[in-house]
Structure 1
Amino acid sequence: FIGHLQTNKVKNVVPYAALIQSIDSEHLLKAVNDYAARIGKVQDILLEVFVASETTKQGLSEAEAVDLAERIQQYQNVRLRGVMAMATFTDDMDRVRREFSNAASIAAKVAAAAGIENLEISMGMTSDYEVAVQCGSTMVRIGTAIFGAR
C-alpha cells in the first residue's frame, strides 16, 4: 500500500497489503500493529520520512524515525522493512538528489537503530527514479511509466 493511510482505514488495508509504505506517525503504527494482531498477521511496513520542501508531503522527521526504529520491537505485529521518501516534485534534479541523499542517510540511521540489515529504501518515481537509484534506492515506484498518466 502506498499513499496516506488514515487510522480509520487500517481495517481495509491490513488484511490485503503485503507492505504498507506510508507509516508516518506512531499513532498509525500502533493502529496497524493492533489490527494486525486482531487478525493474526505480522504486517511488513516502511517508515515514511519527510525530506521534501512541499507541505503537501507527509512523513516522520529524522529524529522521529530513529526514535520509532529504536522502539519497534515493542510492536509485535509489525515488521520494519525500511523507509520510504518522496522528493519535491520539481525539475531541479540537484534538489531531488539532495533530498534523496538525505533520505538514504536517515535510512542508515534507522537501520542502525533497529538493528536491521538490508533495509529497503523506497524512493523514486517515474520522473526521478534514476537519481533515486544513484542515491541508494532499492525500490522505485514507476506507475506512470508503466500505466500512463492518471
Structure 2
Amino acid sequence: MSAISENLARINDIILKVCENAGRKRDEVKLIAISKRKSAEAILEAYQAGQRYFGENYVQEFLDKVEHPLLANLEPEWHFTGHLQTNKIKYIADKVAMVQTIDKFATAEALSKRAEKEGLIVPILLEVNISNEDSKYGVMPEDLLFETEKIHELPNVAIHGLMTIGSPDLSDVGKEFQQMRHLLEQIAENSPNPEQVKELSMGMSQDFDIAIEEGATMVRIGTAIFGER
C-alpha cells in the first residue's frame, strides 16, 4: 500500500470514529482531497485508492490536471476551493461540481452570467471569514444574510451552504465552527429553497475532527493525505 493510500485509510478511519462519537452517520461527511500543487500521479494514486472528491485552488493548475492524460478518462468530482477571480470564471464554470469560495456578490453574479451561457446552474458555497482575519477572504458574519439575499436572486447559481477556514489557534476553532453551524441555519431559514442549503465545508488537516463534531458536511484535507507542499 502506498503512502497516499495509507493516509486515506487512516483519515477515513478517523472520520468514521469521530462521526460515531458525535452520533452522526459516516455518509454525512464528504472528504474533499485538496490536491493543489500535487501531481497528476498523486491524484491518480488517491483515485485508485477510492478517493473521488478533489479540491483545486488555482485555475490554470486545475485546467492542466483536468486535461492531463492520466486523469482525462477518470470521473472525479472537482470542487474549486481557492479564491476565484472574475476573469477566470469562464475557464472553470462547466468543469466543477461546486465553487466553495464565493466571497462577494460580484463574483457570484459573474459566475451566474457565465453559467447561463453554458446552460448550467452552478452550486456554490459562500465563504465566511469567521475568524475576522485580514489575511483571509470571505463575507463577514454580520453581512452574510444581506449577501445571501442578493445572491438568491441570481438565476444560474444555487447557494448550497457555507465554507470557512478556522483560526490557526485550535482553542478558538470549536466556537467558530459552532457559529458557522448557526449561520447555516439562519441562511437556510431565509432561503427560497431551505432544503437545498445544507452543506457546511469546514475543517482541514489540523482541525477536521473538531469540524465534524460541530456539524461539517465536508472536510477539506490536503497535507494529511498528500504530504507537505
TM-score (norm: length of structure 2): 0.61
RMSD: 1.4
Indicate the residue corresponding to 2:178 in structure 1: 101
Counterpart in the other structure of 1:66: 145
2:213 matched to 1:134?
Answer: yes
- After superposition, residues 49-88 of structure 1 pair within 5 angstroms as 49-88=128-167
Percent identical: 37
Q: Does 1:125 align with 2:222?
A: no
**Structure 2: which 5+ residue stretches go unaligned?**
1-79
1:73/1:99 CA distance change after superposition, 3 Å: closer
Distance 1:20 1:122 in 2: 11
What is the CA–CA distance in structure 2 between the aligned matches of 1:78 and 1:53, rounded to whole Å?
A: 26
Shift of 1:88: 1.3
Work out which of the two has the higher radius of gyration on C-alpha atoms and give 1 or 2: 2
Provide the C-alpha distance between the structure 1 equivalents of 2:109 and 2:145, rounded to a whole number of angstroms. 16
Partners of 2:105 and 2:150 within 8 A in 1: no
How far is the alpha carbon of 1:40 from its aligned partner? 0.9
Return the letter of the residue paired with 2:207.
D
Aligned amino acid, residue 107 of structure 2? L
Q: TM-score, normalised by structure 1?
A: 0.92
Which of 14, 24, 33 aligns to 2:112? It is 33
2:92 matches 1:20: no
Q: Which consecutive unaligned segments of at least 5 residues does structure 1 have?
A: none
Distance 1:97 1:18 in 2: 28
Q: Give SS of 1:111's match.
A: helix
**Distance in 2 between residues matched to 1:79 and 1:57, nearest whole Å:** 23
Count of aligned pairs between the two proteins: 148
Bigger Cα displacement from structure 2, 10-19 vs 26-35: 10-19
CA contact (8 A) 2:109 2:151 kept: no
1:113-143 Cα deviation digits (max 9, x unpaired): 1142261000000100011111111100012
Q: Does 1:116 align with 2:198?
A: no
Residue in 1 aligned with 2:21? none
8 Å CA contact 2:86–2:107 kept in 1: the answer is yes
1:39 and 1:9 map into 2 onto residues whose CA distance is 15
- Match for residue 225 of structure 2? 146
How many Å separate the matches in 1 of 2:119 and 2:100?
Answer: 20
For the residues of structure 2 that align with 1:89 and 1:54, how far apart are their CA atoms? 10
1:49 positional shift: 0.9
Partner of 2:37: none
